[in-house]
Structure formats: C-alpha cells, structure tokens
Chains A and B, each alone.
Chain A
Amino acid sequence: MTSDMKVKTKFRHVGTSPIRPDGLDKVTGRAKYGADLNLQGQVYGHIVRSPHAHARIKSIDFSEALKLPGVLATMSAEDLPEPGEALIPGAEIEMKLKNVSPVIMARDKVLYHSQAVAAIAATTPRIAAEAAKLVKVEYEVLPHVLDMHAAMAEDAPLLHEDNFTVGVDPAPEKPSNIAQHIVMPKGDVEAGFAEADLIIERTVHVPMCHQAYIEPHACVAKSDENGKIDLWCTTQGPFMVRLLTAEITGIPQKDIKVTASEIGGGFGGKTTVYIEPVAVVLAKKAGRPVKIVMSREEVFRASGPVSDAETRVKIGAKKDGTLTAIKSEMLMDTGAYSASAMFAGVLFGTAPYKCDNILSVGSEILTNKPRVWAYRAPGAPQALTAVECVINELAWELGIDPVDFRLQNAVEKDDIPLYGMPFQAVGLKECLQAVKDHPNYQAKLGENQGRGVACAFWINAGMQSSASIHVTPDGGLSVMTGSPDIGGSRASMALMAAEVLGVPFETVRPAVVDTESIGYCDGTGGSRTTLATGGAVIQAAEKLVEELRKRAAASWQVEIEDVVWMDGKAVERCGVGIDELIEGSSPVKDGAKVLTLAELAAAAGHTGGPLTAVASLHAHNAAPAFAVNVCDVEVDPETGKVDVLRFTCAQDAGKAIHPAYVEGQMQGGAVQGIGWALNEEYLFDDQGVLDNAGFLDYRIPVASDLPMIDTIIIEVPNEMHPYGVRGVGEVPICPPMPAVVCAVNQAAGTRLYDLPMSPPKLLAAIDGEA
C-alpha cells in the first residue's frame, strides 16, 4: 500500500447492480434472523429491569420466583466477574469493563430506568415473565438527574463516585458527572473573529433518539458438558460479541463460538451486546439452550440510544464570504456510563471547511438515562447540524447563494482539517457542484416553502478483516467472510471476487460464516466492510489467481510467468506481454494453450490438491467521505406540520461497487436524518421513565411521509484502495438534519434550532415570530 498504487478504473463487474445472492431467501421469508432459531430443549430467558432511574440495590431475592414450576435458573451481577479497573483488550476504542458489564447486569447501583438487574430462565416465555415479577429486588432510591445542565451543577446527584473528569488541568479533586472534556484549538479564533465582518452564534439542540432497527435484539445460547458455548445472535460483529461476552462472563474466547444470524438493521446499535452474556450464563446454569428476545419496549428503554447534544457554534465571515473563525462548544449526553461519540463531534464538526482559526471543545455528561451507543457516523450529525445551521444563516445574511458560499470555503486535497490528517483527493466540491446543477436546486419554491442545503463529512474506518475462497470441483467459488451482511455486502463481495477472477457474478457464492470458520473480522460498521473485508476478498482472489496460474504452468510444464489469467481462464502467453493481453491490445496467439477455471478445478487433485486461498489484513487505506444534501419543504403555518417536497443527496463514494446499494445507503440515511430533524426524540417523564417506548409514539418516517429521494453518486477514487473505494454507510445520515432545519426555517421565517421540529414546537416558533 503505497501512494503510487495504481487504482483500477476499468471494470467488468464492479459498478454493476446485480441481484444480491441472498435475495431469494429474503423475499421468500426463508432467511433466518436472530429470533428465527429454535433449538431442541430450548428454554427462555427474561430480564428483570429496574423501576427506578437511580437506586442502590440492597438485595435480590429469587426464592418466590424459584417456587414457580418451570423456572430453571436465575442470574444477577453476582454471576459475573467483578470488573475492577480492567480495560477490554482489542476493543475498537478503549473501554473500561466497569462501563460495559453493568449495562448487562447492574452491580450495586442502577443508574437508569429499565437497567437489567436480574434474569430468569424458564420453560416457556410466559413462565419466565411471570417468574420475573416474583423476583424481589430491594432498592434504596436515590435522587436522579436527567438534564445535562442539571447534571453539571455543583450539588447534582452523583452517578459515579469515582468519576473524575478526564482531560482537565489540573486533575479535579472532586468527582462529578462530567466524564470527559476535550479542547481542540487551531490558529487563533479571537483574531479570526476580529477579522470578520459578520459573526453569527447559535445554540443547536439535537435530541436523544434511537437507531430504531426493525429487528429487536435476539439470541440463543447453548453450553455443552465441557463448557463450550455456541451462541447465535443478531449482531453487526460476531467477533465483537465473542470478545465482549468473554470479558463480561469470564469465559475464555476460545470456548465461545458465535454465529451471526441475518441482521434486521443495526446502524451502530448492534455493535455491542445486551442479552448475549445473560443467555450464556443462564444456559450454563440451566443446562439447556436459552433464547432471549428483547421486546420493542425493552429495545427502546434498555439498549443504547443516541446522545442528545447541545452545541453552541459561533462563526465569523468576511463580506466576500471567506470564513475567518469557527468556535464550537458541545455538550454531549452519554447517559449512565461514558460511551458517547463526543470526540468525533468535536473533531469532525468543522471538517468540510477551510478555516485557519478553529476552537472546538466538548464535554461528555453523565445522566440517569440509558447508556448511549453508536448510530451511523456517531457524534458527527449532532456537531455538523450545529455548524451547518450557522453556515446557512451566514450565507443568507451575506446574500451569497448557500451552495456558492460552501464551494468558496469547501476543503480539497492537501487541506488540513482540525483532526490533523491532510486530505488526499476528496469529492466535496464535486458534490456541491452536482447538487447545484440538479433540477432540485433549480425548482421554483412556492408560498410557505423553503430550501436547505448542507455538507457533511465522515472519516470512515479500515480495521481488520479476513476472507477465504474455496473452489468447487466444477469451478464454483465460495467466498467466506466474517462480516454480517446488513445492506447487500454479500453482493459487493461477490462482485469483487468475480472481478479479480474474471468469472460470471453468479459463479460466486458469498457466505457469512461463524467465528470458528474464518479468521478475525471486525464488525460491519464504520463504513468499513466494502473497503476492508472487500480488500481481503480482493487479496484472497489475487492469491487464488496466482495459484491457478501455478497449476496451469505445472500442467503445461512452463514457468508461471508464461501464464496469464484472463477472462476466468489460464492462457499461455507465448511471448505476448501480460498487460497487452489483459488490456486486449494484443490478441492471444493462435495455438496458445487455455485452461478454464472449471478444468483447473477438476484437475486440482492431480496438481497439488484443493484450490483455496485465504487473506487477512488490517486495512489502513480508508479515506473520508463527503456528502451534500438539498431539501425542499413546505410548512403548514396553521398546524406547524412539515412536508418534505424534494430531497437530493450527492455523495462521494470513491468507487461504487454495487451502485444500487450505495444509493440505498444514501436514501436510507437521508430518511433517518429527516426523521431525527422532524419527529424522533426520546421523551422522559420526571422520574426518568421513557414515555414513548414504542413505534406508535416514537414515530420513525413511514412511506407516506416522504417523496422519492434523488441520488447522485460522485466517484473521486480513494488513491489508497485498488478499486478506489471509500466507504459509504455512515456519512448519509450527517447532512439531512441541517438541510431540513434550514429549509424549514426558510419556509416558516423562523430561527428554530431546538430539534425535532415537531408541529407544536414549530407552531410556537412561527407564532413567536409573528
């Protein structure tokens, strides 16, 4: 991997959109998701949850529950190792076990309503639920704090007596509810503001929301007589489940096999565990396989929602539109344990813009709410929304077209963002230009209508992946990886394998296999699967090509250099150059020997045995993604209801391996962002009980809320990837929120920055302006 790597630009398969190999099973109902497996002798787990937002657990008494016929096992934090100060080795970012284990089973204290405190295994789900009600937990109720500002007060109830804010000098002597603090300066913001002709400062509040994947968490755990664990679950990362289950339960990773089911959505929410360690412990204790399926209510109350954030952004610009300074101060709610994406918010909120003077600070606040977790580009949407809203207002005030204003300040190659890594080629300007040229941007707006534009950035991850390819005796290819297919990645893997091997797409059967059948793979997340797992597939396929050339050379008794692999066949060069043959500038010599993949596979037993190839890598070649959205809305001034009229997304994919699924990522992210801007929010009562723990009251966008979502795929290749891939999954959720907010404010004549822009709130803002 060097900077002089040649990025392939001519493809046979890559860039086409064939039907996904797992499609038939998914449209016919045969595909097996988390809750679709039932094992012989299986029993059912049920989790007892806290009725309080903050309380000390004084005792747990299972005696009445155990009297109920059909109850087989119980568990509590007593059954898990004491976390102490241990760090979880090999986790994506540094995690303390004491911040993870209590989310599975509370220890000593409960810190949010519905936190798990105990569990029951029984022969039927109904008996398990009945028994759970008989578990007597004695609590000493403590005062709780739900609001970030209240949590920072001197006399606020303290969640963790051992939490001393990290990142301040000198280190605090008193514990507080501020988990971490970060200051990222660049240049001199005060000097920058002094140069500005116009300064606008706004506070933008983005609410706590949920990933709202349609499939609830579900798993089945089996423990054999030797203590070996077999775990089936819905997850973005089976190896992550193995690691966390091992750390939380104390069972070694080598004794745990994890099989990922098909996954019914994750968006970051399934990059951790909630029920898997519980099922494992109960299965061990009950001596029977244990199935746990979370209810939708439990998913909302007790999985990992998404941080609410309050960001105060101040930006200065000259009359000609040059940005002179950006200051961003972010408060991010992490719920009961430190796990928020505050760092990403602080580092990336300003990434789309050239600006010499930036000061970005952030504080992560602990509150008595569920521990937050990742949601698509974690941390970035909250930060970018705040910055983009101010950028839009600056453009309006300066009388500059909002796209032109962004084009003028957009980053390009060699610019250095706040996080310090100079950009290689990036496609932000291309995205802006594409949006400007799109009919959406030219459409005439009517009364009560408005248009918003927004830019966004996400860094994208690489990390570790493995792939393995086997050849069937008749020349079929099975491509195995450990990356769950959450949105069509099997199709991408098959396309890349077919590309390297020069065989029809249908020849390749891609599979996602369990943790014992493939080398380590980090999870499907961070927009990394096509880049990194795909990279492993490309490498394995290249190794297989080498092997096939070797086998052909042996058959013909020539040197491997005399064999070229083209169009799925080994061809004797007969002195013609390899590049000329592959590019087709020189024809294959008459009489040159040829062996097809099927012929080589059939003879494999005579030429060295089965044809296989394996590749494992740690991908360091991820490249950032930029996206731009434009959105037209109409506001009903009587009711405050917002209708989205038109929506267009442009995104730099680097190279779209399967364009239809890249468009799907863009459209899906856009609609999630629309939902977050207009409807979605966690509503707690004053006791910290979630009031809207169901899809009726936590309303995600439905088909009738939306127009078609137009997409423009921009391809500025990632110079470090053989096919130019960047990663596409996360950035789509970043620009829609600010685009919608700006469109609504333009349509309604408001400056409402307290999201979501629900009808009552918007109506109040409209009435306030009038």
Chain B
Amino acid sequence: MKKLHVSTTVNGQPCEYLCEPGQVLSDILRNELDLTGTKEGCTTGDCGACSVMLDGALVCSCLVLAAEAEGKDIETVEGVARDGKLHPVQQKLLEHAGLQCGVCTPGIVVAAKALLEKNPDPSEEETRYWLAGNLCRCTGYDKIIRAVMDAGATMRGE
C-alpha cells in the first residue's frame, strides 16, 4: 500500500512523516516519531490517554487519521514543559500525588492544560466534567481534581 506524505508542526517544530491511509495519529506519534508520551489505552477514543491538541482542539489521537493532520499544528505531552520548566498542571500533579501508575497522566496533563486555557477558574464540577473523558483507574480522581484546580489558582497568580 502506497504511503501518504504529511507535513505538520509537532510541538512547534516542522515535522514530516509517511503514513498508511488507515493509520491513526497516535500510532505515528508513538511508533514513527518516537513520541511515546502519548499513550494508547483503548484505541477507541474511550480512555483519553492519547489526548493531544490538534490546531488548538483537544482530540483523542487514536481517532484521528494521521493523514488528517496535514498542515496542522500538533501539541503532545512532550511539548507541555517548556524551557526546562514544568507547566503548573504538571507541577501540581506531582505535589498533590495526583498520579499513581502514571499511564493516564500524559492525557490528563494535555486535557487539563486545555481546560485552564479555556476556563482559567473552573469549578470542581466543571473540572470533573472536562476530565470525564480521561480514565484513571488508580487514584479515584480526588487528587487529580485538586491538582488541576490548584494549577488554575497558580496560573491566576493566587
């Protein structure tokens, strides 16, 4: 099967790859670009571990065809910490022990960052509903929700 040539931007850098027409973005990120921070927990869009930003929209990269990313801007968990500094969401997840096994964490980081960019002061309920697409089996979500809300407070300068 002939591969397709795709030009994108990944975490701010221009990036080109070849993909099969049926190949999904999470597969290319993980297995072609070696960005394995994006996890695959289901490949059916139910667990959120593969969350990335595509042109500023939060998506499950297992539901996006790699070819659809042509000309688009992809941000993965690897691009969240900048200049050797953690994003407040990452820092607060660590401080609140908001991860146990850590496999859902990259998806939570990407999704929570997107939430706080859209809504800098979310309520607990808003945070819970925004993250309802990110499954975590270890923590019971308590410490994740606290961490994300605390990160919001930090970003608001509180």
Using a CB–CB cutoff of 8 Å, the interface residues on chain A facing chain B are: 17, 19-20, 22-24, 26-33, 35-36, 38, 126, 211-216, 262-267, 293, 295-296, 486-488, 658, 660-661, 663-665, 667-672, 694-696, 700-706, 708-709
Question: Per-residue CB proximity of B101-131 to A under 8 Å, as 1/0?
Answer: 1111110010000000000000011011101
**Would A670 and B140 count as touching, CB distance under 8 A?**
yes
- With a cutoff of 8 Å between Cβ atoms, the chain B residues found around residue A22 in the complex are 102
**Would A672 and B137 count as touching, CB distance under 8 A?**
yes
Assembly CA distance A100 to B101 (angstroms)? 27
- B34 to chain A minimum Cβ distance, whole angstroms, is 8
**Would B90 and A709 count as touching, CB distance under 8 A?**
no
Using a CB–CB cutoff of 8 Å, the interface residues on chain B facing chain A are: 20, 30-31, 34-44, 46-47, 49, 76-78, 80-81, 86, 90, 93-97, 99-106, 109, 124-125, 127-129, 131-146
Assembly CA distance A20 to B42 (angstroms)? 27
**Would A702 and B139 count as touching, CB distance under 8 A?**
no
With CB as the reference atom, state the residue of chain A lying closest to B109. A27
28 contacts between A and B (CB under 8 A): A27-B90, A27-B102, A29-B36, A29-B37, A29-B78, A126-B20, A214-B39, A214-B47, A215-B101, A263-B103, A264-B103, A296-B42, A296-B46, A486-B100, A487-B101, A663-B143, A664-B100, A667-B140, A671-B139, A695-B47, A696-B46, A701-B140, A703-B145, A704-B131, A706-B128, A708-B124, A708-B142, A708-B146
- With a cutoff of 8 Å between Cβ atoms, the chain B residues found around residue A296 in the complex are 41-44, 46-47
- With a cutoff of 8 Å between Cβ atoms, the chain A residues found around residue B41 in the complex are 214-216, 264, 296, 695
With CB as the reference atom, state the residue of chain B lying closest to A214. B41
**Would B137 and A295 count as touching, CB distance under 8 A?**
no
- B138 to chain A minimum Cβ distance, whole angstroms, is 5
Given contacts A296-B42, A703-B128, contact A28 B80 (CB under 8 A): yes
**Would B128 and A32 count as touching, CB distance under 8 A?**
no
- A596 to chain B minimum Cβ distance, whole angstroms, is 29
Assembly CA distance A656 to B114 (angstroms)? 35
Assembly CA distance A293 to B30 (angstroms)? 13
Assembly CA distance A52 to B120 (angstroms)? 53
- Give me the 10 closest cross-chain CB pairs, A-B, nearest first: A29-B37, A264-B103, A26-B102, A671-B140, A667-B140, A695-B46, A660-B97, A29-B77, A487-B100, A36-B36
Given B43, B80, B105, B139, which contacts A668 in the complex, CB threshold below 8 Å? B139
Given contacts A215-B41, A487-B138, A700-B135, contact A36 B30 (CB under 8 A): yes
**Would A27 and B97 count as touching, CB distance under 8 A?**
no
With CB as the reference atom, state the residue of chain B lying closest to A35. B40
Given contacts A215-B101, A267-B137, A487-B101, contact A667 B46 (CB under 8 A): no
Assembly CA distance A364 to B84 (angstroms)? 56
**Would B143 and A212 count as touching, CB distance under 8 A?**
no
- B89 to chain A minimum Cβ distance, whole angstroms, is 8
- With a cutoff of 8 Å between Cβ atoms, the chain B residues found around residue A265 in the complex are 100-101, 103, 137-138
**Would A694 and B97 count as touching, CB distance under 8 A?**
no
With CB as the reference atom, state the residue of chain B lying closest to A698. B46
**Would B42 and A19 count as touching, CB distance under 8 A?**
no
- With a cutoff of 8 Å between Cβ atoms, the chain A residues found around residue B77 in the complex are 28-29
With CB as the reference atom, state the residue of chain A lying closest to B79. A29
**Would A29 and B35 count as touching, CB distance under 8 A?**
yes
- With a cutoff of 8 Å between Cβ atoms, the chain B residues found around residue A262 in the complex are 101-103
- With a cutoff of 8 Å between Cβ atoms, the chain A residues found around residue B43 in the complex are 295-296
For the complex with contacts A664-B143, A703-B132, 8 further pairs of A-B residues with Cβ separation under 8 Å are A27-B90, A35-B39, A658-B97, A695-B46, A702-B141, A703-B129, A705-B132, A708-B142
- With a cutoff of 8 Å between Cβ atoms, the chain B residues found around residue A213 in the complex are 101, 137
With CB as the reference atom, state the residue of chain A lying closest to B124. A708
- With a cutoff of 8 Å between Cβ atoms, the chain B residues found around residue A658 in the complex are 97
- With a cutoff of 8 Å between Cβ atoms, the chain A residues found around residue B78 in the complex are 28-30
With CB as the reference atom, state the residue of chain A lying closest to B1. A126
With CB as the reference atom, state the residue of chain A lying closest to B107. A214
- B31 to chain A minimum Cβ distance, whole angstroms, is 6
- With a cutoff of 8 Å between Cβ atoms, the chain B residues found around residue A488 in the complex are 97, 100
**Would A660 and B96 count as touching, CB distance under 8 A?**
yes
- B23 to chain A minimum Cβ distance, whole angstroms, is 9
Assembly CA distance A212 to B97 (angstroms)? 21
**Would B44 and A696 count as touching, CB distance under 8 A?**
yes
- With a cutoff of 8 Å between Cβ atoms, the chain B residues found around residue A486 in the complex are 100-101
**Would B94 and A20 count as touching, CB distance under 8 A?**
yes
Given B47, B90, B144, which contacts A703 in the complex, CB threshold below 8 Å? B144
Given B37, B80, B103, B134, which contacts A215 in the complex, CB threshold below 8 Å? B103
Assembly CA distance A670 to B142 (angstroms)? 11
Given A23, A29, A214, A709, which contacts B140 in the complex, CB threshold below 8 Å? A709
**Would B145 and A695 count as touching, CB distance under 8 A?**
no
Assembly CA distance A23 to B35 (angstroms)? 18
- With a cutoff of 8 Å between Cβ atoms, the chain B residues found around residue A705 in the complex are 132
Quick one: which of A486, A488, A660, A702 has the most chain B CB within 10 A? A702
- With a cutoff of 8 Å between Cβ atoms, the chain A residues found around residue B102 in the complex are 22, 26-27, 31, 262, 264
Assembly CA distance A263 to B137 (angstroms)? 13
With CB as the reference atom, state the residue of chain B lying closest to A660. B97
- With a cutoff of 8 Å between Cβ atoms, the chain B residues found around residue A214 in the complex are 39, 41, 47, 49, 101, 103-104, 135-137
- With a cutoff of 8 Å between Cβ atoms, the chain B residues found around residue A264 in the complex are 39, 41, 101-104
Given A32, A38, A487, which contacts B31 in the complex, CB threshold below 8 Å? A38
Given B46, B94, B95, B127, which contacts A694 in the complex, CB threshold below 8 Å? B46
With CB as the reference atom, state the residue of chain B lying closest to A213. B137
- With a cutoff of 8 Å between Cβ atoms, the chain A residues found around residue B101 in the complex are 213-215, 262-266, 486-487
- With a cutoff of 8 Å between Cβ atoms, the chain B residues found around residue A29 in the complex are 35-38, 76-78, 106, 109
Assembly CA distance A661 to B100 (angstroms)? 8
- B29 to chain A minimum Cβ distance, whole angstroms, is 10
**Would A664 and B30 count as touching, CB distance under 8 A?**
no
- With a cutoff of 8 Å between Cβ atoms, the chain A residues found around residue B93 in the complex are 27
- B40 to chain A minimum Cβ distance, whole angstroms, is 7
**Would B90 and A702 count as touching, CB distance under 8 A?**
no
**Would B139 and A667 count as touching, CB distance under 8 A?**
yes
Assembly CA distance A55 to B77 (angstroms)? 46
**Would B142 and A709 count as touching, CB distance under 8 A?**
yes
Given contacts A265-B101, A668-B100, A706-B141, contact A695 B131 (CB under 8 A): no
Assembly CA distance A769 to B4 (angstroms)? 62
- B96 to chain A minimum Cβ distance, whole angstroms, is 7
Assembly CA distance A661 to B105 (angstroms)? 16
Assembly CA distance A653 to B90 (angstroms)? 28
**Would B134 and A703 count as touching, CB distance under 8 A?**
yes
- B75 to chain A minimum Cβ distance, whole angstroms, is 12
Given contacts A28-B77, A29-B76, A32-B36, contact A694 B42 (CB under 8 A): yes
Assembly CA distance A267 to B134 (angstroms)? 19
